[in-house]
Structure 1
Amino acid sequence: MQYKLIASAFAATISFLNIQARAAIYDAPDSITVQNQSGARLMVYTIEDLKKQFHQQTYKTRTPWTKEDERIVFRGPLLRDVLSKSGIYNGINIKIIAYDDFTSDILSEEIEQYDPILAVEQSCTDSDRTKGNCDSNQDFRSITMLEKGPIFVVWPFDRLPHGYIPARNSIWVFFPVVLRQQQ
């Protein structure tokens, strides 16, 4: 009886520590962590790091959830550049983990062929200026959580094969917090 009580307490403690350790990774929603295949942290980039340490790529594209004629201009670094700077990009697949624990496996061939970005901004619209979300001379603004931010994995929609939509919609990851190297 005492053994079962100790074993239960031990299991509960381990479970609690696992939840706490995982939550600690996600404590900074304005950053993304790059990990090796065992989950060890290699680099952490804040949104400001992603803006300042990398060349910014701009895509005027639709997403699987926008109207066919609707285009949004997104800006952020190429995913391959972030991986390369972190020392894990050598034609290796990655797992992207979102804040809500959604995961998406991305093939190295997809990254090489389609050049997705880690979008951290989108262009200001007239509506944004009217609502006070952008100044009159401001070109870009942060992506809100309602718009799939603060970081959003964006692909050049029109370059993707027709078979990808909707079969591979999972590659458009909202609020990614971890980029993990896969084998």
Structure 2
Amino acid sequence: MKTLLAGCALALLSIAAAFAGPLDRPAGETILTITGGIANTNGDGVAEFDLAMLDALENRAATMNTPWTEGKTAFDGPLLKAVLDAAGAQGKTLIVKALNDYSAEVPMEDARDYPTILATRMNGAEMSVRDKGPLFMIYPFDKHPELYNEKYFSRSVWQIKEIEVVD
């Protein structure tokens, strides 16, 4: 039994090591930088992503009501979990930072437990800074109406530029 457990643990470590490593460098303009507790980098201790890199990750499209838009609005972008997995994020808390220096502490569980979107598009159009872009953290209010409250509204950062992963 011990040999089986040791073998399983070794296999899991090998799989984890295969995912750790450098990311491709962004070919376009960097719109997201991830810092802190990450295993996969493409810069000096950071993971930088352009729009094409984010578009290549597992994504979600959803139409929902939000407190910041009128009527049902369509959002599309990579899952927060997929972005963090690509960077090899290891921590308990995310500090999500906006272009205007607003920041929110977001528990890592929000990425793991909910299909939270880092929206790059709203109603089919790329999100400009003027329209809350380039990235807007959208909780799955359509699937989890219990999240439609001030606690999650305050974590729904727009104009995201950086995510810091901390313990």
- Asked if these proteins are the same fold (TM beyond 0.5), I'd say yes
> Per the alignment, in what secondary structure is the counterpart of residue 146 of structure 2?
coil
Give the conservation status (yes or no) of the 8 Å contact 2:114–2:140.
yes
Tell me, yes or no, if structure 1 residue 146 matches structure 2 residue 130. Answer: yes
**1: distance between equivalents of 2:69 and 2:122?**
14
Counterpart mapping for 1:72-111 below 5 A: 72-89=73-90, 92-111=92-111
**1: distance between equivalents of 2:51 and 2:30?**
6
Give the conservation status (yes or no) of the 8 Å contact 1:35–1:42.
yes
Two-structure CA RMSD over aligned residues (Å): 2.3
**Identical-pair percentage:** 23
Give the conservation status (yes or no) of the 8 Å contact 1:94–1:182.
yes
**2: distance between equivalents of 1:167 and 1:50?**
26
Post-superposition Cα deviations, 1:41-65, rounded to whole Å, max 9, x if no partner, equal: 42100122211x2122111112122
AA aligned opposite 2:102: F
Shift of 1:150: 1.7
Give the conservation status (yes or no) of the 8 Å contact 1:80–1:89.
no
**1: distance between equivalents of 2:33 and 2:140?**
23
Tell me, yes or no, if structure 1 residue 156 matches structure 2 residue 120. Answer: no
**1: distance between equivalents of 2:104 and 2:149?**
15
1:120 corresponding residue in structure 2 = 120
2:54 corresponding residue in structure 1 = 50
Give the number of the structure whose alpha-carbon radius of gyration is greater: 1
Structure number with higher helix proportion: 1
**2: distance between equivalents of 1:178 and 1:71?**
27
AA aligned opposite 1:73: A
**2: distance between equivalents of 1:48 and 1:155?**
22
TM-score, scaled to structure 2: 0.70
TM-score, scaled to structure 1: 0.65
